[in-house]
């Protein structure tokens, strides 16, 4: 994992963006699952109203990021290496945040199952 985060090629960035998309998708799945238990609530103030509508949630959490990632990948091929490195730093930061979020979701699911 550390090797993936330290490489700065376009192909490696593509892999990280794919992983980021998967973590983003798992975030909304975990969120819906935890909300259905009734023991948890959305803590992201931007998403509180959005998770009430599943179609809007899917549009915001799945379709919009997919389109954004496609756009970024199309534009990155033309950028100089310095911009590729900057983009890698940004993607790595967001990846770490989403890994933490997904670990929190798994922990909450474990706590929920433990309390049953």
Whether 109 has a pLDDT exceeding 60, the answer reads yes
Q: Is residue 61 a contact partner of residue 24, using CB atoms and an 8 Å limit?
A: yes
Q: pLDDT digit string (tens) for 2-54?
A: 555 556 677 888 889 999 999 999 999 999 999 999 999 999 999 999 999 98
Take residue 105 and report the two structure tokens written for it: 């979701």
Whether 105 has a pLDDT exceeding 90, the answer reads yes
The upper half-sphere exposure of residue 84, i.e. CA atoms within 13 Å in the direction of its Cβ, equals: 17
Which residue in the block uniquely carries the two structure tokens 């490696």? 12
Domain ranges of the chain: 2-111
């Amino acid at each position: 994992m550390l090797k993936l985060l330290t490489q700065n090629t376009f192909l490696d960035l593509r892999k990280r963006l794919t992983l980021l998309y998967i973590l983003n998708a798992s975030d909304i799945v975990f969120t819906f699952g935890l909300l259905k238990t009734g023991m948890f609530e959305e803590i992201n103030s931007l998403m509180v109203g959005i998770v009430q509508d599943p179609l809007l949630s899917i549009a915001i959490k799945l379709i919009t990021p997919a389109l954004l990632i496609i756009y970024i990948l199309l534009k990155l091929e033309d950028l100089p290496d310095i911009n590729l490195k900057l983009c890698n730093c940004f993607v790595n930061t967001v990846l770490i945040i989403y890994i933490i979020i997904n670990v929190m979701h798994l922990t909450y699911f474990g706590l929920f199952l433990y309390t049953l």
